[in-house]
Amino acid sequence: MVYQDLHVLDGKQQAIVKSWLNQGLKTTEQTLGPLAQSHLPVKLQNVYLSSEPVPWGAVNRSEVDGIELHISYFATQQQLISDWTLYHELAHLYHPLLDYPDFWLAEGLATYLQNIIMLHGGVITTDEYVQRIMAGLER
């Protein structure tokens, strides 16, 4: 991983975030296989007022695709691991960029894959997985 803007985090938070990112990538690759690219740019942004550990994330498509994550300054490592956002953004890197009219398909696939990753990684239980999939189908 290539960290961008790691300096926005203090020393303790840097260690927590690096550990979380490495764990998330490892879990994702154990589930879906290795990423097609040799390195992953990760842009980080601190958020001070948030009720979620990772209130926002995105994939940055370019010559080398990367991810951007906005992280709550107060999030613990366990809260970060339990949050779906990292797995979701990484899942986007396993399918091609789809045109805007197919945005729903890209989001649906990434949401499905995030739950598979979290289940296989032991982040959620089988019951939680089923609940999440059923909730998605009911929308």
Total domains in the chain come to: 1
The whole domain housing 72 covers: 2-138
Condensed to tens digits (0 to 9), the pLDDT of residues 46-98 reads: 999 999 999 999 999 999 999 999 999 999 999 999 999 999 999 999 999 88
**Residue 120 CA: distances (Å) to CA of 2, 14, 137:** 25, 26, 21
Instruction: Give the whole-angstrom CA distance, residue 106 versus residue 59.
Output: 12
Using the predicted structure, report yes or no on whether residue 33 has a pLDDT greater than 90.
yes
Residue with tokens 């975030």: 17
User: What CATH number is attached to the domain comprising 91?
Assistant: 3.30.2010
Condensed to tens digits (0 to 9), the pLDDT of residues 119-133 reads: 999 999 999 999 999
Which residues, 6+ apart, have CB-to-CB distance to 18 below 8 Å?
A: 3, 6
pTM given for the model = 0.94
